[in-house]
Chain A
Amino acid sequence: MQDRPTAAELLDSVAEYLFAELRPEVPREQRFKVLVAANVCAVVAREIRAGDEPDREDLALFRELLGREVEDPRAAAAELSERIRSGELDDRIDELAPRLEEHVRRKLEIARPGYSEGGD
């Protein structure tokens, strides 16, 4: 067991420093890079807090879509990708699109919360 702050709390502190303290101090052309760095810390902090739940949900989804047991979400995504590419699932595109939105929403919840509610 490590002492507090937790990994996510440490990243929060770095993100706060980069965003609130460092960003206004650097030359204008560097500010975007600092903003990106702060955002990366925030993304990783959210990923740590989410734990393995998103991966387990993705694995369950990919198992269902593949119709067989798979152990690793990345390998499952690769297999699903291949099967889609081969054209064998072409008659199920309308059915698969909202299911893959579930997977993409789980990525957005870590990388860009709120994105799936906006747009037109």
Chain B
Amino acid sequence: MEELAAGVREVLAELGTDLAEVRLTSIPGGASRETWLIEGDAGRWVLRRDPKGSVSLVPMADEYALISRAAEVGTPVPQPLAFEPDGGRFGSPGLLMAHVDGTSVAPRILRKQEYEAARAGLTEQLGEALASIHSIDLGTLNGVLPEAGTDPALDQIAEWERQLDEIGEPLPAVELGLRWLRANAPDPAEPRLVHGDFRLGNFIVDERGLAAVIDWELAHLGDPAEDIGWLCIRSWRFGNDDQPVAGVGRLDEFASAYEAAGGAAVDRERVRYWEAFGNLKWAVICARQANDHLTGVRRSHELASLGRRVCEPEWDLLELMR
């Protein structure tokens, strides 16, 4: 960690900030990345980097490129400051960003008095933010992400089926969901940049509302409605089951803001399909996280407990198939 601190100091000095000392604290965030809070006498920053030797879906360098593009089109994101490749001054590939004040902790956002005003405007701000992400001209990404296949839904089904197979856990309800999703895939959408994890928990919110969209490690090219369906799954309502959009708003309200900000007309049936898919994806992620504990990749009772949460999205998936 001292090595990392030295690297961070050197990079910050190049950016014009000389720090007598820096304090690094590991903070939870993201399934496969390390996140460090950096504190010095002159301010705070955040470093995201790949754990040593890990393979992630979206390489850190690509996440840097995506956040930079998103910042340019006006998506609220932490300002990216510096990227270091593998073997660079952050050790593994890492991105240094400005610190964004606020919280990403869902129960706090949904229940604390201090976020009351933020909640009132959040649905609309999420619509605008997602429209900006989906407005990004794919030509300007310079091949950062793998090209979309001919059918974004079938591509995603194949991806998460593959991830399920890596675990080997027998989940007949998930299997049935996969067959249903194959049979009911909507007409292929014109591919857009899909954030892939656009949901409460990955939004930094301050007293005024949405301050930043974080955790771009599941980004890919695909059907933009995928992000809307994922946003709405019951798990991301954190107990506010009657408020589909992040536990704070209605889909109509979200859709109006999204469309007014330049997003394509929101097709409710398509969103429902992607909500079903989102539940499938969350079920597989839960099983994967538990498997990471069981195989010793990362021992943690939090990850272990997710194995017993697979049944929640399984239930919602089966209900959405009706």
Contact = CB atoms under 8 A, between A and B. Distances in A.
Interface of A: 32-33, 36-37, 39-40, 43, 62, 74, 77-78, 80-81, 84-85, 87, 89-90, 93, 96-98, 100-101, 103-105, 107-108, 110-112, 115-116, 118-120
A49 to B, nearest CB: 15
A116 B315 contact: yes
A97 B179 contact: no
A89 B180 CA distance: 11
Contacts of A87: 179
Contact of B241 (A40, A90, A103, A119): A119
A119 B170 contact: no
A111 B176 contact: no
Contact of A81 (B172, B241, B311, B318): B172
Contacts of B321: 93, 97
B173 A100 contact: yes
Contacts of A115: 311-312, 315
A97 B176 contact: yes
A119 B316 CA distance: 8
B183 interface: yes
A74 to B, nearest CB: 7
B311 A111 contact: yes
Interface residues of B, number: 30
B170 A81 contact: yes
6 contacts: A32-B302, A74-B170, A77-B172, A100-B318, A101-B318, A107-B308
B180 A93 contact: yes
Contact of A100 (B172, B304, B308): B172
Among B180, B244, B311, chain A packs the most CB atoms within 10 A around the CB of: B311
A93 B302 contact: no
Contacts of B309: 111-112
Contacts of A98: 318
In the A-B complex, the 7 residue pairs with the closest CB atoms: A107-B311, A78-B170, A77-B170, A84-B175, A111-B308, A100-B173, A81-B170
A110 B312 CA distance: 11
Contacts of B173: 100-101, 103-104
A93 B171 contact: no
Nearest to A109: B311
Contact of B301 (A36, A84, A96, A100): A36
A73 B170 CA distance: 10
Contacts of B257: none
Given A80-B172, A100-B173, A33 B302 contact: yes
Contacts of B308: 40, 43, 107, 110-111
